Structure 1
Amino acid sequence: MRRPTLSAEQRRTLLLGVLGTAVTLAVWWVSAATWLAGHQVPTPPDVLDVFRERGPSYYREIFSVTLGEAVRGYVVGVGAALVLATLVLLVPRLEPVVMQLAVVTYCLPVVVLAPILIIVHDLPEPGGHSATAVDLAAVSVFFTTVVGAVLGFRSADPAALDVVSVYGGGKPQQFFRVRLVSALPALFTTLQVAAPAAYLGALLGEYFDRHLEVGVGPSLILAQNNRETALAWSLGIACAVVAGVAYLAIGLLGRFVTPWSKGVAR
């Protein structure tokens, strides 16, 4: 049994990613130190100074709140989407209703939905989580997961479905024995895309919910009001890192669970 290894294409992609990051940092540094010097754009050393001044405890405290909201919303949104996608396969008549619901959640403007959710929910407790942020995280992943799951379930080999039917299996047996296995690569890709979306939804929920005291959203609002540009940049970069790590983590999990989708031997 061999462990999965990076292919030549994956190594090339990783190298290009590292080079792209280095070039971006260089352009940022030069631009902030020259023609953008009068526009309150901090240099990378300025942002690093803020990281050192605030310390790991500060970022750990605020990001733990936002991540908790994102994870809750992710679980709720993905869970509901997978249940409805499964119902579409078992009861095809439900497809128009489910798809219309998914499209509605996708088309709802956040600036309209967030105030409604804030009014509906109770005020968050001091140091607690924002229910609005959890809801927006769930809504952010619902449409993508429903569509990806339905397409994945329908990618099953018709011959394999016929074999199960010949041996007396119905739609539930076809689903669990064939459709679910064949859909795993597509499902993990969908879950991978949904992870940063859930984090963004939670962050937007915090930004709109001005009653929240602790979190990345309130910290961004304070940095904006106090004109602390370097702090705002440090929070933005940290958010990008967190979302990127979540994306990569689910991708690696999918690669481990479904090695056949990339032709990797185990």
Structure 2
Amino acid sequence: MGRRLPPWATATLSAVGLIAFWWIASVTIFANVGSGDTKAIPTPAQVVAEWGNVGWDFYVTHFSVTLNEALRGYLWGNGIALVLAGLVMVVPRLEGPVMQLAVITYCIPIVAIGPLAVLIFEVPKKGDPSGTAVFIAALSVFFTTVVGSLLGLHAADKASLDVVHVYGGSRLTQLRKVRVVASLPAVLTALQIAVPAAFLGAVLGEYFGKVETGIGPAMIIAQQSLNSPRVWGLALASGAVALVLYLAVGLLTRLSTPWAKGAAA
């Protein structure tokens, strides 16, 4: 049997193949797709050239605002989710209402609640984070973290819980001494999944208007001016930023819970 390629080599070949397919499709299949002289699917070279045209400051200005919104929404959404999950362990009767709340927040279409959030939150000053974007980002991570945290907290060793109970420990003591440690792999995994969700939620929140700076308004302006290379450049840069943050939290998860990987092995 042949040797398997290392993960980095597989990822590199996949990326090269994807870029090659994109380039070929742009100059063949989608060569005449677009409005006027603007191609809907630019080549990778055109996207890179547009990155150079707008400069580094353009991306720093817009990404700094969107990342600020995503971070605030990430902290608010995950913080509330973790508090409610811990409260369920202390007061088990609350599990039904908490899960119903999580499902409701997951099922409500963002396009329906976004305009309401625009009316509720104040119009931000130029360069300030949008309250609507922060709210949508928090809403985007709430369900995943609630479900992941409850699954992790429920997975605590029953024998350890019984020992705490026999020695007179309350549900709060069980939570502090047993459940929190047992739930760390599941909780950190949920927090990792929430990273790109928060970033996407912040971008979607910016699309509802009343924002002058951020990835959302930058993409809207590029779309209106039919600047497809800039639209693609912003989209690819957003995906790269979300991926880097996702991998960073994943690395933190491995460093924080090394026993989880050993147990799985």
| 2:239 alignment counterpart | 240
1:68 matched to 2:68? The reply is yes
Note the 1:7-18 alignment, pairs <5 A.
12-18=6-12
* Structure-2 change in CA distance of 1:158 and 1:14 (3 Å): farther
- Name the CA distance, whole Å, in 2 between partners of 1:232 and 1:90: 48
Moved over 3 A (4+): 11-15
- Name the CA distance, whole Å, in 2 between partners of 1:152 and 1:163: 19
- Code of the aligned partner of 1:52: G
| 1:48 alignment counterpart | 48
Q: Gaps spanning 5+ residues in structure 2: where? A: 34-38
| 2:36 alignment counterpart | none
| 1:231 alignment counterpart | 230
Secondary structure at the aligned position of 1:38 is classed as coil
1:155-181 residue CA offsets vs partner (Å, 9 max, x unmatched) = 111111112222322211111111111
- Name the CA distance, whole Å, in 2 between partners of 1:175 and 1:112: 37
| 1:29 alignment counterpart | 23
1:116-161 residue CA offsets vs partner (Å, 9 max, x unmatched) = 0001111111222110000000000001100100000001111111
CA RMSD, 1 decimal: 1.6
Deviation at 1:18, TM superposition (A): 2.4
| 1:19 alignment counterpart | 13
Q: Which moved more, 1:170-179 or 1:181-190?
A: 170-179
Secondary structure at the aligned position of 1:105 is classed as helix
- Name the CA distance, whole Å, in 1 between partners of 2:171 and 2:124: 44
| 1:205 alignment counterpart | 205
- Code of the aligned partner of 1:259: P
Note the 1:1-266 alignment, pairs <5 A.
12-39=6-33, 40=39, 41-208=41-208, 210-263=209-262
Deviation at 1:262, TM superposition (A): 0.8
Query: Alignment length, in residue pairs?
Result: 255
Task: Using structure 1 for the length normalisation, give the TM-score.
Answer: 0.92
Secondary structure at the aligned position of 2:207 is classed as helix
- Name the CA distance, whole Å, in 1 between partners of 2:101 and 2:174: 26
Taking only the aligned residue pairs, the percentage that are identical comes to: 49
Task: Using structure 2 for the length normalisation, give the TM-score.
Answer: 0.93
- Code of the aligned partner of 1:18: T
Deviation at 1:12, TM superposition (A): 4.1
